[in-house]
């Protein structure tokens, strides 16, 4: 059987979408198509490696063997890889996952407009990809978007319709407002009547101590917590030039500084800030991962998968 009239976009040099840089990935299409391509590539990568543990409802694949039921051949994967894979079905795991997405004004920033997508673009596509992976594993997924208040909330459910609804809401989100992660975390904590997995996606330009307290509160009440700290490359290193203008996107405050005078101090301050988040979260059993917004989505997906495997 051959696929006819395949009009799906072809990734650069045949690379899997989950390995593409965001600038290239953003050219493939809309959020639904990109998330599907990323997850397909991610699953394909797992099955070409010795890595196991992605036991998911019709996401677990193995190579076709003589005698296998042809009804369970994954034809989409055949079209992508020219190899036959058979779908394996697993029992639902019934994990409840809750995606918390920072949509504050600072998330709408990029250090290279027109080339590198914003932090919010990265966050939305990561959230859509995570939701699809979770739902394919038979888990239920809920979502909340926040700045200084919760601006959208999707109750945790399973099934295909849930992913389409999550994508619809993600597509409409824009960056605005000041950040108050602790408000969203506490709002979620009082609503959760069953232990689950909470995934925070944010640039963590937040009230640090209040956010730490709220994350620890969730952990104390038995929830598993995973934090993705999004960093634009322009936040790691000052741009070339003699002067740089720092602008707070949430208050419009500006500061003009000499780059040469503060470059090394700035780099060290960023390093220390990231180290402090890790130091303050990991002892409480909270997984913390820095995600560079010029990097492939596969790194964040693998961090999630390691967390998921430990939950059984």
Note whether 104 and 151 are within 8 A (CB): no
Burial of 286 (0-12, 13-18, 19+ CB in 10 A): buried
Check residue 179 and give its pLDDT. Answer: 84
Q: Where are the domains of the chain?
A: 12-88, 96-311
Cα dist. 158→93, 98, 112, 131, 276 in Å? 11, 12, 37, 10, 36
Work out the pLDDT band at 47, boundaries 50, 70, 90. low
Cβ–Cβ contacts within 10 Å for residue 5, how many? 4
The residues, any chain, with a CB within 8 Å of residue 136's CB and separated by 6 or more, are: 39, 56, 57, 58, 59
Q: Stretch 178-185: mean pLDDT, rounded?
A: 88
Quick: pLDDT tens for 92-107.
Answer: 457 899 999 999 999 9
Q: Please identify which residue in the block is written with the tokens 């232990």.
A: 195
Domain 96-311, CATH homologous superfamily name and number:
von Willebrand factor, type A domain (3.40.50.410)
Segment 22-33 mean pLDDT: 95
203 has a pLDDT exceeding 50:
yes
Residue in the structure block whose two tokens are 């079209």: 79
Residue 231 has pLDDT above 80, yes or no: yes
The pairing of strands 140-146 and 96-102 is parallel
* Spatial CB neighbours of 266, under 8 Å, sequence gap ≥ 6: 238
290-303 residue pLDDT tens? 999 999 999 999 99
Whether the Cβ atoms of residue 26 and residue 14 lie closer than 8 Å to each other? no
Tens digit of pLDDT for each residue in 131-163?
999 998 889 999 999 998 999 999 999 988 999
pTM of the model: 0.80
**Rounded percentage of the chain residues whose pLDDT exceeds 90:** 54
Phi-psi region of 305 (alpha: psi -120 to 50; beta: other; left: phi over 0): alpha
Most confident of the following: 44-53, 60-69, 74-83, 249-258: 74-83
**What is the per-residue pLDDT across 206-230, written as a single tens digit (0 to 9) for each?**
999 999 999 999 999 899 999 999 9
Residue 166 clears pLDDT 50, i.e. is over it = yes
Read off the pLDDT of each residue in 247-251 and give the average, rounded to a whole number.
Answer: 64
């Amino acid at each position: 059987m051959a696929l006819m009239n395949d009009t799906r976009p072809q990734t650069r040099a045949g690379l899997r979408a989950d390995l593409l840089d965001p600038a290239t990935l953003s050219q493939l299409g809309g959020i639904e198509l990109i998330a599907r391509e990323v997850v397909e590539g991610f699953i394909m990568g797992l099955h070409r490696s010795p890595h196991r543990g992605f036991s998911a409802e019709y996401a677990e694949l193995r190579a076709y063997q003589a005698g296998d039921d042809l009804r369970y051949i994954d034809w989409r994967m055949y079209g992508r890889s020219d190899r036959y894979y058979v779908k394996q079905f697993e029992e639902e795991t019934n994990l409840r996952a809750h995606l918390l997405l920072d949509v504050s004004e600072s998330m709408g920033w990029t250090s290279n407009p027109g080339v590198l997508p914003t932090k919010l673009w990265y966050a939305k596509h990561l959230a859509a990809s995570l939701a699809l992976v979770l739902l394919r594993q038979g888990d239920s997924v809920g979502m909340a978007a926040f700045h200084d208040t919760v601006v959208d909330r999707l109750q945790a459910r399973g099934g295909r319709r849930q992913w389409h609804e999550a994508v619809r809401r993600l597509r409409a989100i824009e960056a605005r407002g000041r950040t108050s992660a602790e408000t969203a975390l506490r709002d979620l904590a009082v609503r959760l009547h069953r232990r689950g997995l909470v995934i925070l996606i944010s640039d963590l330009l937040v009230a640090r101590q209040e956010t730490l307290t709220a994350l620890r509160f969730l952990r104390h009440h038995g929830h598993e917590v995973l934090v993705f700290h999004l960093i634009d490359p322009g936040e790691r290193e000052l741009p070339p030039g003699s002067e740089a203008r720092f602008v707070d996107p949430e208050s419009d405050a500006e500061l003009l500084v000499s780059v040469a005078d503060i470059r090394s101090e700035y780099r060290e301050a960023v390093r220390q800030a990231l180290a402090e988040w890790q130091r303050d979260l990991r002892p409480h059993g909270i997984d913390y991962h820095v995600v560079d917004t010029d990097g492939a989505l596969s790194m964040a997906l693998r961090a999630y998968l390691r967390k998921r495997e430990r939950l059984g």
